[in-house]
């Protein structure tokens, strides 16, 4: 366990990444570190009414774009182009973290996070997950929580 500048306690979990693109980085990460899929969250970048917005949902879910838009008072959401998401966040696909992005983007975390003791998110690269308390993730990202995950 480590404590960062914000005095947040977190644990890093490195794991081996299985080559190529086109697979589910989140479920691969959950399986590699032996954690239930509902506890590992993926970071997805969308545009809500033209404004880049981050949706953080369990890897066992998909992002409900309509719910994401509603959570931030918007009308329409579309997934951001992957290359654009990488450029805006400063991270590569499969390693986009909700923390430490180039520019702070408004963030919505699926409300299922509230029932967990700890949550895992990308630590900024493929092959590295960060475990931290959900309330710390919410505070550090200045996120709102809403039911944005769809099964």
68-116: pLDDT as tens digits: 999 999 999 999 999 999 999 999 998 999 999 999 999 999 999 999 9
Whether 54 shows a pLDDT value over 80: the answer reads yes
The answer to whether 79 and 68 have CB atoms below 8 angstroms apart is: no
Average pLDDT over residues 45-70: 97
| Residue 53 banded pLDDT, cuts 50, 70, 90 | very high
Name, in order, each residue with C-beta under 8 angstroms of 79's C-beta and a sequence gap of 6 or more: 44, 45, 46, 47, 63, 65
**What does residue 137 show for φ and ψ, rounded to 5 degrees?**
-60, -45
Dihedral sign (CA 17, 115, 136, 98): positive
**Ordered structural domains, the chain, with CATH:** 12-150 (3.90.960.10)
Say whether pTM exceeds 0.75: yes
The answer to whether 41 and 19 have CB atoms below 8 angstroms apart is: no
- Of 2-16, 110-124, 137-151, which gets the smallest average pLDDT? 2-16
């Amino acid at each position: 366990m480590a404590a960062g500048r914000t005095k947040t306690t977190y644990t890093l979990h490195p794991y081996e990444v299985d080559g190529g693109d086109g697979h589910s980085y989140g479920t691969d990460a959950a399986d590699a570190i032996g954690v239930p899929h509902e506890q590992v969250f993926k970071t997805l970048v969308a545009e809500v009414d033209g404004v880049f917005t981050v949706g953080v949902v369990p890897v066992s879910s998909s992002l409900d774009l309509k719910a994401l838009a509603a959570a931030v008072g918007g009308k329409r959401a579309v997934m951001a182009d992957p290359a654009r998401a990488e450029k805006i966040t400063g991270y590569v696909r499969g390693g986009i973290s909700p923390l430490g992005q180039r520019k702070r983007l408004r963030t919505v975390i699926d409300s299922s996070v509230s029932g967990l003791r700890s949550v895992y998110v990308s630590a900024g690269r493929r092959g590295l997950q960060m475990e931290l308390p959900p309330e710390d993730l919410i505070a550090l990202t200045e996120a709102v929580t809403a039911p944005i995950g769809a099964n």
